[in-house]
Amino acid sequence: MMRAILVILSIRTTLRVGVAVFLSVALAAEFSIAQTDNPVPSMPEWGSHRFVEYIAGELPVVIAVPHDGDLTPDILPDRTFGVSARDNGTQEITRRMITEFVQRTGKSPHVVFLHLRRKKLDVNREEFEAAQGDETALRAWTEYHAFIDSVCDRIRRTGTPVLFIDMHGQKHPEGRIEIGYRLESDDLALSDAELNGPVLVEKSSLQWLTARGPMTHAELVRGPMSFGAMFDRLGIRSTPSPSDPSPESHRFYSGGYTLYRHAVEDPDGIVGVQFELNPELRQPQQSASTAKAITGAVLEFMTVHLGFRTTTEEVQ
């Protein structure tokens, strides 16, 4: 009888200590978020001529915004070939995402903006097409990618996986987010079994995550815990996703030079994705809700696939 009472007392004490620890952790978490409700944003670092802006963060998330700059300096000649369309709204959405991340986690992502118009420099192309022989443009191209390289390397050296996001906009009539993993329409038209084959996995910006398991490549691309599924649950159309597993015959952006360079060429510890947002999501009056939706999907993806925990994953 005495022994039974002692056991009960000891269980009660353990429970009480457990509750106290839980409460103090919860309060600490709340406190730390409350402290950073209105954080002083970190001072940006600039490349030469202020063409490239890097805002340092604390989360293992790196966001690049290449095609929403508005500078057209005379010192740079116009490019004579290639695309020059602007991805309007992607800079505003990304700035709002920084605020969303801070509100939800107390921490911000790392962000790199190019402030030049695309007719002056396209950082999402290899250097010849990007800068077309102009030395000043080439320097900005080099600085842009060096900021991304340097922060990704710094994070993964700590053993924390990096989520790299390349933010874009398109105007295709289907009105859905095109999610790029460097897999083209023809690849996505294949069966899940074929998508899981080594050639397509090696081509993909999800290759490191696939190798780590436990989900298959096809599950990560369009299964119930894919980015597409997270957008489905938010009522936002996207492809690839459970509801739109492939773009079929429609035009589709599969991921460009930047995604290849930073998430496929040297993929250790890197998970990469390109978001091509449709015009409806990029309208100025939609930028707050778009930022909220994408931030929510990104945090869910990090929690499910990258073991992200707000209180422990921190990179200064």
- Could you list the residues that contact Zn ion (CB under 5 A)? 67, 87, 168
When the beta carbons of 119 and 233 are compared against Zn ion, the nearer one is 119
When the beta carbons of 156 and 282 are compared against Zn ion, the nearer one is 282
When the beta carbons of 167 and 299 are compared against Zn ion, the nearer one is 167
Output the smallest distance, CB 130 to Zn ion, in A: 13
When the beta carbons of 168 and 222 are compared against Zn ion, the nearer one is 168
Output the smallest distance, CB 165 to Zn ion, in A: 13
Answer yes or no: are the C-beta atoms of 155 and 262 closer than 8 Å: no
Q: What is the rounded CA–CA span in Å between residue 254 and residue 292? A: 24
Output the smallest distance, CB 54 to Zn ion, in A: 19
Which position's Cβ is nearest Zn ion?
168
Single-letter amino acid, residue 29: A
Residue 80 φ/ψ, nearest 5 degrees: -105, -10
Output the smallest distance, CB 84 to Zn ion, in A: 11
Burial status of residue 66 (CB atoms within 10 A of its CB: 0-12, 13-18, 19 or more): buried
Residue 312 φ/ψ, nearest 5 degrees: -115, -30
When the beta carbons of 91 and 207 are compared against Zn ion, the nearer one is 91
Structure tokens at 40: 């002083």
Q: What is the rounded CA–CA span in Å between residue 243 and residue 139? A: 43
Pick the closest to residue 130 from 182, 165, 75, 79 (CA basis). 79
When the beta carbons of 49 and 86 are compared against Zn ion, the nearer one is 86
Output the smallest distance, CB 274 to Zn ion, in A: 9
Output the smallest distance, CB 83 to Zn ion, in A: 8
Alpha-carbon torsion, ordered 5, 11, 12, 16, to 10 deg: 160
Output the smallest distance, CB 122 to Zn ion, in A: 9
Residue 299, C-beta contacts closer than 8 angstroms, at least 6 positions apart: 101, 104, 105, 308
When the beta carbons of 67 and 282 are compared against Zn ion, the nearer one is 67
Structure tokens at 69: 């700059």
